[in-house]
């Protein structure tokens, strides 16, 4: 049976710990006991962990040998996929965040787009702690050794600020306006043609897609516009499909 993998909140030598709500879930919900074994992700590797102490806000593990099964942190670092995800209905957006984490995205940047609902945009900053929990739980479920970074929401033009994205990244914005165009550039083709690049940035719009003025800004900022085919996908579906295509192109 595959052991559950937990991402440690604290690591000191051969000791690791879960704290706060993270520990409470294991202690209260899963009824952990001293002596139980789990896989513990310590940031750069996954090691066997045996519970040595339990309380409702802290669980400590004695770390043993390195585990070679599962997914290692360098695998995820090698993919280096950044997803700029426009803000849309939170339940569907958070489902996309969870699934893109499982697939292997390295970084998620929530973006306030022109078509993002104003009430959702205003409330988005308060969702950041929830998003951090979602990516950590999804990373543990998928046996990643570290969750992706997820930033606080930014405005579209902040994507062009120094340090937000790597200057060498292949940048692709999904554009529904290309779906019926004779000059339709498919995302898969764009990524395969630039598979040697070390990093990929994907921009997925909200419900209704990016506006024409936003697409113009992307193109002026050096992004390549591409589509996912002849059908119009919901925002969360587009994010998941685009991330999967990027991961495959970078293998």
Q: Is the sign of the CA dihedral 91, 128, 248, 183 positive or negative?
A: positive
* pTM, rounded to two decimals: 0.82
The predicted pLDDT at position 181 comes to 53
Give the C-alpha separation, 21 to 119, whole Å: 28
DSSP assignment of 58-95 equals EEEEEEEEEP-SS--HHHHHHH-EEEEEE---HHHHHH
Quick one: how far is CA 153 from the chain centroid? 14
* Neighbour count for residue 162 (Cβ, 10 Å): 6
DSSP 200-217: EEEEE--TT---HHHHHH
Give the pLDDT of residue 183: 59
Write out pLDDT tens, residues 105-119. 999 999 999 999 999
Domain 74-249 indexed as CATH 3.40.50.2020: no
Please report, for the chain, the start and end positions of each structural domain, with discontinuous segments joined by +: 5-66, 74-249
Q: Quick one: pLDDT at residue 229? A: 84
Residues 167-224: pLDDT tens digits? 888 999 998 766 555 556 889 888 888 755 578 999 999 999 999 999 999 999 999 9
Residue 208 token pair: 């209704």
Provide the pLDDT for residue 160.
92
pLDDT tens by residue, 64-98: 988 765 444 444 444 689 999 999 999 999 999 99
Question: Quick one: 5-66 is in which CATH superfamily?
Answer: Hypothetical PUA domain-like; domain 1 (2.40.240.20)
pLDDT of residue 73: 42
Average pLDDT, the chain: 88
């Amino acid at each position: 049976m595959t052991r559950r993998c937990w991402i440690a909140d604290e690591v000191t030598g051969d000791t690791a710990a879960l704290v706060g709500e993270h520990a409470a879930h294991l202690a209260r919900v899963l009824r952990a006991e001293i002596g139980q074994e789990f896989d513990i992700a310590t940031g750069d590797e996954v090691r066997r962990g045996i519970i040595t102490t339990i309380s409702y806000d802290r669980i400590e593990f004695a770390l043993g040998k390195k585990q070679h099964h599962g997914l290692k942190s360098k695998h995820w670092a090698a993919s280096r996929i950044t997803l700029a995800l426009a803000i849309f209905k939170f339940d569907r957006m958070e489902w996309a965040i969870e699934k893109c984490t499982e697939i292997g995205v390295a970084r998620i940047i929530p973006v306030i787009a022109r078509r993002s609902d104003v009430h959702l945009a205003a409330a988005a900053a308060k969702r950041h702690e929830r998003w951090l929990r979602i990516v950590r739980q999804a990373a543990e479920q998928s046996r990643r050794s570290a969750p992706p970074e997820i930033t606080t929401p930014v405005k579209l033009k902040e994507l062009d600020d120094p340090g937000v994205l790597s200057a060498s990244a292949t940048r692709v914005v999904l554009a529904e306006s290309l779906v019926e165009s004779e000059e339709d550039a498919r995302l898969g083709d764009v990524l395969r043609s630039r598979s040697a690049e070390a990093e990929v940035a994907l921009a997925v719009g909200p419900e209704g897609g990016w506006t024409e003025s936003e697409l113009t800004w992307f193109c002026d900022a050096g992004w390549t516009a591409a589509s996912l085919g002849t059908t119009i996908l919901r925002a969360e579906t587009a994010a998941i499909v685009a991330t999967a295509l990027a991961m495959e192109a970078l293998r």
